[in-house]
Amino acid sequence: MQANYRESMLDKVHTLIKEVNGFTTTSKEEIEAFRIKYLGSKGLLKKLFSEFKNIDAEMRKDFGQALNTLKKSAENKVSELRDNLENTKEYEAVYGDLTRPAEPIELGARHPISIVRNQIVEVFSRIGFTVSEGPEIEDDWHNFTALNLPEYHPARDMQDTFFVEKSQEVEKDMLLRTHTSSVQIRYMENNKPPIRTISPGRVFRNEDISARSHCIFHQVEGLYIDTDVSFADLKQTLIYFTKEMFGKSKIRLRPSYFPFTEPSAEVDIYWGLKTETDYRITKGTGWLEIMGCGMVDPNVLKNTNIDPQKYSGFAFGMGIERIAMLLYQIPDIRMLFENDIRFLEQFKTVI
């Protein structure tokens, strides 16, 4: 019985040591209650030391060491908690009441260009299109020549270009890309068909800034190359896109000209004439132009080492700002670049 009593007392001290080391609080009252419980004149340590005489000589050393450890742990814990409490008070003096609710954080909003870009990417990703990106400062080959626009080609005048001044470091013609078709050229150079990719990005053209045009804008261009790709495949892809993006599936294709596609077409959707706004944006016709498209010119395939006898493909491109202005009835393109908080806050509820 005596041996069991001695062992239970030693186990009790070890248990108390663990409780002391695990104790934590930020309350001054709880710290004081803890001190009294262990270190007070009628505390646990006082009672345990009074039991020292009942311990056999051979166990007194272990029991005494355990009691000293308990005492030091309790004293250190009280000192540590009091110091933490004092430091917290100092912070409160500087920053105020740290327990009060914080100021509500204003939620930001995605920019309408980002919203529309993400929507377009999402629509095409559902039918297997990947996203490809490239540099905004481009060389003449990728921006013009490889796209069937050799030097002095009159179609280059369709895109007024910002050229980068030549230097010792830059020997070839460099420019700010005028379209993201340059990304498609880079993708075709580094990937073999089948190719199915879209290229969203910022482009630059030396144009006057007005309510309908800007020298900086954003495009999404798509490219599909495989065996036996036809114009019918292009048409079905465009119908799918317009239905998913605008909820409208009635389109028409008007013959047009682009140097890198043949045949080429402008794509219109039937917007309708239900409201006064519909009459205004469609000029009373109900039809609205949204993009250009066409079958990839065989010369473009040759320039990227793709056999035009084996492969064919289609391409399309649209301006993100134009789509955003249609979807959200934005009357002036400059609003998209002014970063007016009052304007951007209107898109907080749009994912």
Mean pLDDT of the chain: 85
Q: Please indicate, yes or no, whether residues 13 and 126 belong to a single structural domain of this protein.
A: no
Q: Return the structure tokens found at 3.
A: 């041996």
Instruction: Give the list of residues 6+ apart from residue 125 with CB closer than 8 angstroms, or none.
Output: 131
Q: Return the structure tokens found at 145.
A: 């020549």
Q: Please indicate, yes or no, whether residues 266 and 335 belong to a single structural domain of this protein.
A: yes
Check residue 8 and give its pLDDT.
74
Q: What is the per-residue DSSP string for 39-95?
A: HSTTSHHHHHHHGGGGS-HHHHHHHHHHHHHHHHHHHHHHHHHHHHHHHHHHHHHHH
More confident residue, 351 or 86: 86
Residue 31 domain boundaries: 2-95
Q: Is residue 181 part of a domain?
A: no
CA–centroid distance for 256 within its chain: 37
Q: Please indicate, yes or no, whether residues 119 and 20 belong to a single structural domain of this protein.
A: no
Check residue 166 and give its pLDDT.
67
* Type of residue at 271: W
Q: Is residue 340 part of a domain?
A: yes
Is pLDDT of 351 > 70? no
Average of per-residue pLDDT across 256-271: 93
Q: Please indicate, yes or no, whether residues 232 and 306 belong to a single structural domain of this protein.
A: yes
Which conformational region is residue 302 in: left (phi greater than 0), alpha (psi within -120 to 50 degrees), or beta? alpha
Is pLDDT of 349 > 50? yes
Check residue 98 and give its pLDDT.
64
What digits encode the pLDDT tens for the residues 21-46? 888 887 888 888 888 888 887 777 77
Check residue 169 and give its pLDDT.
59
Q: Please indicate, yes or no, whether residues 122 and 215 belong to a single structural domain of this protein.
A: yes
Q: Please indicate, yes or no, whether residues 206 and 232 belong to a single structural domain of this protein.
A: yes
As a whole number of angstroms, the distance between CA 110 and CA 338 comes to 14
What digits encode the pLDDT tens for the residues 123-132? 999 999 999 9
As a whole number of angstroms, the distance between CA 270 and CA 233 comes to 20
As a whole number of angstroms, the distance between CA 76 and CA 80 comes to 6
Antiparallel, parallel or unpaired: β 312-319 and 195-204:
unpaired
CA–centroid distance for 24 within its chain: 41
Check residue 350 and give its pLDDT.
63
Report the percent of the chain where pLDDT is more than 70: 88
Is pLDDT of 97 > 70? no
Q: Please indicate, yes or no, whether residues 85 and 118 belong to a single structural domain of this protein.
A: no
As a whole number of angstroms, the distance between CA 23 and CA 78 comes to 10
Antiparallel, parallel or unpaired: β 130-131 and 287-296:
unpaired
Q: Is residue 312 part of a domain?
A: yes
What digits encode the pLDDT tens for the residues 178-217? 999 999 999 999 999 999 999 999 999 888 888 888 889 9
pLDDT tier for residue 1 given thresholds of 50, 70 and 90: very low
Q: Please indicate, yes or no, whether residues 124 and 269 belong to a single structural domain of this protein.
A: yes
Q: Please indicate, yes or no, whether residues 202 and 327 belong to a single structural domain of this protein.
A: yes
Q: Scanning the structure block, which residue is given the tokens 């979807």?
A: 327
As a whole number of angstroms, the distance between CA 253 and CA 232 comes to 12
Check residue 127 and give its pLDDT.
95
Check residue 184 and give its pLDDT.
96
More confident residue, 80 or 309: 309
What digits encode the pLDDT tens for the residues 222-245? 999 999 999 999 999 999 999 999
Q: Return the structure tokens found at 123.
A: 């629509």
Identify the CA nearest to 207 among candidates 157, 160, 155.
160
Long-range contacts of 82-87 (CB under 8 A, 24+ apart): 82/31, 84/26, 85/26, 85/28, 85/31
Q: What is the count of structural domains for the chain? A: 2
Handedness of CA 53, 57, 62, 64 (dihedral sign): positive
Average of per-residue pLDDT across 110-124: 94
Identify the CA nearest to 258 among candidates 215, 297, 200, 312.
297
Q: Please, what's the largest Cα pairwise distance for the chain?
A: 110
